Chain A
Amino acid sequence: MEAFVTALSVFVLAVFVGFEIITKVPPTLHTPLMSGSNAISGITLIGALLAAGSRQTQWTTVLGFLAVLFATVNVVGGFMVTHRMLGMFKRKER
Chain B
Amino acid sequence: MMHRGVLGTLLGSLLLPAPRSLLAQDTTAGKVAYEKWCAGCHGDGGAGDGPGAAAMLPRPRDFTLGIYQIRLTATGELPTDADIRRVIDEGIPGTAMPGWRRQLSESERRDLVAYLKSLSTFFADTSLRPVPLAFGHPPGGGAEAERIGRQFYDSIGCRKCHGDAGRGDGPSAPTLEDDAGLPIFAADLTQGWLFNGGPSVEEIYRRLRTGLDGTPMPTFSDLLDQQFLTDEELWRLAQYVHSISPARAPAVRDVVHAPPWSGPLPADPGDSAWAGVEAYWFPLVGQVVRRPRWFTPAITGIWVQAVHTADSLALRLVWNDRSESPDTTWLAFAGKVLTSVAGDDTVPPTPQAWPDQVAVQFPARTATGMERPYFLMGSPSDPVYQWRWASAAGGRSVAGLARGLERFDTLPGPIAARAAYDRGQWRVVFTRSLATADTVNQLQFDAAQAIPMAFFAWDGSNGEHGSRMALSTWYFLALDTPTPPGALAAPVVAMGLTLGLGLVVVRRAQRRARNTR
Whether A associates with B in a native complex is no
